[in-house]
């Protein structure tokens, strides 16, 4: 009997949801726990893992359309299982509500033994199955357990489920984490900044509005080997009232798999994308390689960059961890990837399962990693940063802040020394190459301050 993959209820008052992105395609072989797709509601984004191992078939949940909660979006067939085993469509689609009682499930006796039954059986709050650790983490983050879908046996909520919920939480909940600030938020009915509805052809790079809001947009450029999703953990760290636009750099994420000739070529693509989206004046933020791109864009002056934030930027000195670049690009399995990911951070606990899964999903894309190996060869040949952004920064007349981790093992923190006096330098102790992940609350606060200034 194939296992049904449903659109889960990730939010208490959620009736429908959208799949923003499938990580696997029709016919793909998945293992239980592999990342399948990402759901976005108006408040939350959550990554959904495979409930069983097997082959994905009958993907009916298309990206970007509203799908009722509880509806089957795909099926997982065990090896050798005939596709005809799938029940016919007349089996009623059952909305899965967490406070629904068991008889509702009994009424659908024809429905195969489905994973979604766990959600039906779950009862609110005190009856919820959750590990002690999950309970403690959820309490600490102000998350209600009955709003979290459990992935463990019999729907037990585990650490990974709470962490997924924390990565893309409800805004109201997260506000509790930031008690020293009351953010006045327009009610949902007021007009947020509309997401530009341009055809993708006009913008050379893939992009996503990760948050909407009022005020100056914050444009985010990820680092080497990452993609626009790498900013999501930071956005979950606190209330965000500014619009956030994230781009995929060339050779990364959903952007064309090409190797740009130099930083100017990347900058041209970024500028064209910002122009196509008509974003107006922006705060430009770049991490690592994206930092070098951001500085280049700011220096060229074609885009309206009003402030620049560079997080662990490349291009401030010659040395970079060449072994990391090579090892990271080559790693295909969790076992070979984890040692390199650990190089990125001081506190390994921040390497959450969704983060690792997302990185693994990219690692499985051979064409993507091949393109990135080319980019590494071009920009970081022989463990050396072949470009210099110091002179670019020195000539800028906009506010510039550099944010680094003192214990960066990819690009030494010492390279951030000796910048012009008007450039602000934030150095976080006990932090590695990803301050926006390890010190997400503080970095987000800095960026929002800059956007409001």
Residues that bind other proteins (CB under 8 A): 32-33, 131-136, 151-153, 158-160, 333-335, 338, 348
Q: Nearest distance from residue 153's CB to other proteins, in Å?
A: 6
**CB nearer to other proteins: pick between 275 and 356:** 356
Are the C-beta atoms of 146 and 125 separated by less than 8 Å? yes
Residues facing residue 284 across a β-bridge? 219, 308
Cβ proximity to other proteins, 339 vs 395, nearer residue: 339
Residue 136 vs 452, nearer CB to other proteins: 136
| Closest to other proteins by CB, 43 or 409 | 409
Q: How far is the CB of 160 from other proteins (least distance, A)?
A: 7
State the Cα angle at 410 between 408 and 412, rounded to 5°.
55
CB of 290 to other proteins, least distance (A): 28
* Token pair belonging to 435: 């301050």
Q: How, if at all, do strands 72-77 and 218-221 pair?
A: unpaired
| Residue with Cβ nearer other proteins (62 or 342) | 342
CA 180 and chain centroid, separation:
26
C-alpha dist (Å) from residue 341 to 226, 347, 374, 429: 12, 11, 20, 19
Nearest approach in angstroms of CB 352 to other proteins is 13
Parallel, antiparallel, or unpaired: how do β-strands 218-221 and 45-49 relate?
Answer: unpaired
Closer to other proteins at the Cβ: 3 or 242? 3
The angle that helices 159-167 and 132-141 make with each other, rounded to 10 degrees, is 20
- CA 425 to CA 79: how far, in whole Å? 55
Report the alpha-carbon distance of residue 304 to residue 185 in Å, rounded. 27
Least distance from other proteins to the Cβ atom of residue 167, Å? 17
Q: How far is the CB of 338 from other proteins (least distance, A)?
A: 6
Q: How far is the CB of 349 from other proteins (least distance, A)?
A: 9
What's phi and psi for 349, nearest 5 deg? -65, -20
Measured from the CB atom, the residue of 153 and 194 that comes closer to other proteins is 153
Structure tokens at 423: 């450039």
Cβ density class 108-121: b for 16+ within 10 Å, e for less: eeebeebbbbbbbb
Burial of 162 (C-beta count, 10 Å sphere; 0-12/13-18/19+): buried
Q: Give residue for tokens 């793909």.
A: 28
**How far apart are CB 136 and other proteins at their closest, in Å?**
5
DSSP H or E segment with residue 47: strand 45-49
Q: Are 419 and 210 in contact (CB under 8 A)?
A: no
Q: How far is the CB of 337 from other proteins (least distance, A)?
A: 9
Q: In this complex, which beta carbon is closest to other proteins, that of residue 156 or of residue 445?
A: 156
**Toward other proteins, which CB reaches closer, 87 or 327?**
327
Q: What is the largest CA-CA distance in the chain?
A: 72
């Amino acid at each position: 009997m194939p296992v049904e993959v449903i659109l889960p209820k990730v939010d208490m008052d959620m009736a429908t949801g959208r799949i923003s992105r499938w990580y696997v395609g029709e016919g793909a072989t998945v293992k239980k726990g592999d990342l399948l797709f990402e759901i976005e509601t108006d408040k939350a984004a959550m990554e959904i893992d495979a409930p069983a191992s097997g082959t994905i078939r009958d993907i009916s949940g298309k990206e970007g359309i509203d799908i009722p909660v509880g509806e089957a979006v795909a099926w997982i067939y065990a090896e050798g299982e005939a596709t005809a085993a799938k029940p016919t469509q007349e089996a009623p689609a059952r909305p899965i509500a967490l406070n629904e009682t068991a008889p509702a499930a009994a009424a659908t006796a024809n429905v195969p033994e489905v994973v979604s039954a766990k959600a039906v059986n779950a009862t609110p709050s005190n009856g919820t199955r959750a590990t002690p650790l999950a309970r403690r983490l959820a309490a600490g983050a102000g998350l209600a357990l009955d709003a979290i879908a459990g992935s463990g046996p019999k729907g037990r909520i585990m650490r990974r489920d709470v962490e997924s919920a924390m990565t893309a939480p409800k805004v109201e909940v997260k506000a509790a984490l930031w008690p020293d600030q009351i953010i006045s938020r327009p009610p949902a009915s007021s007009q947020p900044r509309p997401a530009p509805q341009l055809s993708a052809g006009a913008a050379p790079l893939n992009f996503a509005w990760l948050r909407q809001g009022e005020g100056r947009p914050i444009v985010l450029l990820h680092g080497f080997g990452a993609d626009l999703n790498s900013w999501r953990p930071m956005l979950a760290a606190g209330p965000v009232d500014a619009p956030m636009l994230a781009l995929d750099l060339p050779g990364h994420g959903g952007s064309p798999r090409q190797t740009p000739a130099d930083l100017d070529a990347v900058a041209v693509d970024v500028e064209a994308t910002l122009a196509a989206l008509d974003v107006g004046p922006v705060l430009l933020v770049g991490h690592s390689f994206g930092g070098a791109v951001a500085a280049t864009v700011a220096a060229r002056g074609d885009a309206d960059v009003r402030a620049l934030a560079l997080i662990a930027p490349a291009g401030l000195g010659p040395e970079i961890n060449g072994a990391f670049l090579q090892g990271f690009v080559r790693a295909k399995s969790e076992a070979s990837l984890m040692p390199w990911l650990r190089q990125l951070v001081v506190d390994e606990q921040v390497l959450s399962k969704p983060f690792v899964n997302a990185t693994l999903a990219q690692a499985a894309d051979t064409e993507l990693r091949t393109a990135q190996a080319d980019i590494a060869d071009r920009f970081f040949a022989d463990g050396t940063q072949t470009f210099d952004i110091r002179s670019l920064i020195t000539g800028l007349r906009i506010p510039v802040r550099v944010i680094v981790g003192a214990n960066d093992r990819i690009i030494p923190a010492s390279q951030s020394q000796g910048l012009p006096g008007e450039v602000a330098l934030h150095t976080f102790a006990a932090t590695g190459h990803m301050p926006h992940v390890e010190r997400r609350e503080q970095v987000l606060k800095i960026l929002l301050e800059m956007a409001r200034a």
